[in-house]
Structure 1
């Protein structure tokens, strides 16, 4: 019996600072800070995707003739494989046919080959972090705009 009393007493001492003990003793709960959770972010108005946005075709000002000419470029003897990189769609406002990658150390003319086998002449741009490819290059290679293809990059 004495052991049970000691266990209960030590348990009560351990919980003496808890809110549960306050409730058991009949004390009112501690007042909460009224300044907490009273400020909310202002309402944000959004538009549904595809609503009044612009289509990819309207953003891409690279002509069909430029794309055809870039697709017709054949590999040259002086190029070398710089490596492979997974690319994401670059900013649509930056027009032209280009790839930006950390595999490129200086701006140059080069070529990329997509997973579907299509080859495209592009401007190579040095970059850091994730590789990017222009909207025009994505469309010329027939790659979906939400895809992250692994391309092979060739340069001088």
Structure 2
């Protein structure tokens, strides 16, 4: 599977605890595989601090707090077939806090948030119970394939 991943980190965001780019690459590929996406894919992941995460969540979702992952699917014109899936924003301090609160390895929680976000880019959602069950099953399958325990 041809994957182009653009990973960036907000200026001033400490590198401590943030996985390497090859890890994000593996996690994205795992999500694409369980979703049966075989076409070339391109996406960007930006790792942000709490201030930027809060600003983006407020601007795009009307919620005044930083959240773990935001997904912005590519809004391509009908009929245009490019490999662009969209962008993920992962808030490093929120992911670290959640991992600690839930007693999970930080790396595993990053993997989960990456897989979760990629599935959103592919059109999966968790608003209705049936959708949530399907999406969570795909997350479990992708993470199990990576040797990561059930996040739920």
TM-score between the two structures when normalised by the length of structure 2? 0.24
Of Structure 1 and Structure 2, the greater helix share is in 2
TM-score between the two structures when normalised by the length of structure 1? 0.23
Of Structure 1 and Structure 2, the greater strand share is in 1
Question: Which one has a bigger Cα radius of gyration?
Answer: 1
